[in-house]
Chains A and B, each alone.
Chain A
Amino acid sequence: MNKQHLKSLALELRAEISVDPYGVFDPYALAELYGVPVFQIGDLDCSPAARAHFAGPAVSVFSGALVPMGDGATVILENDAHAHERRRATISHELAHLVLEHDFDARLVSDRGCRVAKGHQEQEASELGAELLLPAAAALAHARRDSSNEDVADAFRVSVALATWRMNSTGARKRAQREREKRASSGLAADLRVTP
């Protein structure tokens, strides 16, 4: 699926939970709508040692997992020791794999992305997950207002790293800059025309 299709799909999914392209996306609401339960490590009756492991020394090893239940059903497990913004990104990424109907045995996410995923599928899911959180159209609107990456992160409840990446990778900053330069040069030309 190309980037344009992923953009359209993200807007479709946002609309399904009544969020326009400029609103804050709630991945938990989409998971609920799609009937996919989301569980937190901290709420499971796993061993205290395992819970402590992923909340402490191995916190970056495990962000989340998309887990098939063996009968077509799927659940998501997330590491609730992570910051809220990061958890939102993890769930969005996992939902992207689900909506794109990527084949998988089980998918574990760490700092470096999914451990069990094909390269092109991983790229698609990263793009769709990010587009869900911060659509290209919204990135452009903020670039035109010259919003800082911190303000964008705050507005969409994403990390500053994700906001910075989106503001650049969508081409929003460059496009807004070009538009400003064009306006400035056409304004200059108009000034020259009225100068006696």
Chain B
Amino acid sequence: MNARDLDSLTIAGLAAEISNREISPVEVTGLFLERIEQVNPTLNAYVTVTADNARADARKAEEEIAHGRYRGPLHGIPFSIKDNIATKGVRTTAGSKILANWIPDFDATVVTKLKEAGAVILGKTNLHEWALGGTTINPFYGTTHNPWDLTRIAGGSSGGSAAAVAASLCLGSVGTDSAQSVRNPASMCGVVGLKATYGRISQHGTVAGTGAYSCNHTGLLTRNVEDTALVLEALAGRDPNDPLSADRPVAKYTESIGKSVKGLRVGILRGYFEEVMTREVRDIFYAAMETLKQLGMEIEEVTTPHMDLIPAVKVCTSRVENASAHDRNLRARSRDYSPPTRNAYLAALLVPASAYIMAQRVRRIICDEFHELLRKVQILALPTVGFAVPAIVECEQGWLDIDGKKIRRQDERGGTDSLTAIPFNVTGFPAMSVPCGFAKTATPIGMQIASGPFQEELIFSVAHAYEQATDWHKRRPPIDVS
């Protein structure tokens, strides 16, 4: 095996070879670390590489497997962790200056579970400052570049995780998603990103203030749907350290791979986000819907009565919940935030309590309407982001071109790139982004496949069927590792 072979690896494929002792975890880890050394200076996907720990974990995995103690499909598999998820003994910055030197004395539950499954953690990935944005243009740790085009953003806030998976700097990554932050970068980097049902994966150990309490989710980024199912099986479940985690039994998600999708009803979700959707993205998305139709699914267009209020509910909820976590730092270290981030949190302190409660009342109406909708259809689909991956310079200037119309990248509703994703943060329903085509700029486009609470198995079945009918997920960015 050499560095070029890393591009074709998947978790499921490598797991089979590791369990048969055809490939050594030490060899694989060495190749990934070599690749990180070559490529990361250009991409800036990792902010911390834990090479010594990774080599030690790989040696341990190899020894255990040699002695017949194979732990399962994540044993010896190289992972990365977004840098707002606590890792014992390893710096966890949350993309902030304030936590630049914070070394947690505990692991987040997802990290504990990954370690128990025998995964090899290669390092911590870059993110938007405090996970508050969709570009991963970070004033303290630098910009993460899109592996498909270095002049463009990787998306965010889990931009480092998505770029690392796409560029073969790991095979899976754990991120967080409170508005778009797993699905958006997954879409922009051409990988699979899952935000499972609220509470499905523990959030214990996610840095407070890197996502609203009631909207945030731990999420997964991998190269294909089957790999995501494997990782979710290992990481999902009730956690006594997270009172908001769900106590439902964890399904055998991999069993939903390959299940028939004939006759399933898919609703194309229509709404306010279409005003920031280009013709190009719409065409690519509707071509994907044709594929679903050819696979035997029934397609119709759907919406809900209070759809337009989703941005107001989301922004109000996020601002208040996030600001509460930043109060102490705003008093003591306000100059250690970048001005836009500090200003957003200060403005959030002025939201009246009555607005927050009203947002939660309207949120219940919206959730009820989505439940009602999912009695008519079983799956919801819409583009992950309404436009092709923007250039870094466009984002820095704060403007986007939507079919010749100049629009602000950020307005009172938040980032324009998050508008398609937030319905599932407000409702907590599961949603996955899968690659569904390429823009004229040769950068990936993704679509979301969503369903009702704890219906991840349905999502896996549909997403996998789509993946089998296309080859978008097999394409790799043109990274030079010669």
A and B interact physically = no
Chain B residues at the A interface, C-beta cutoff of 8 Å: none
Chain A residues at the B interface, C-beta cutoff of 8 Å: none
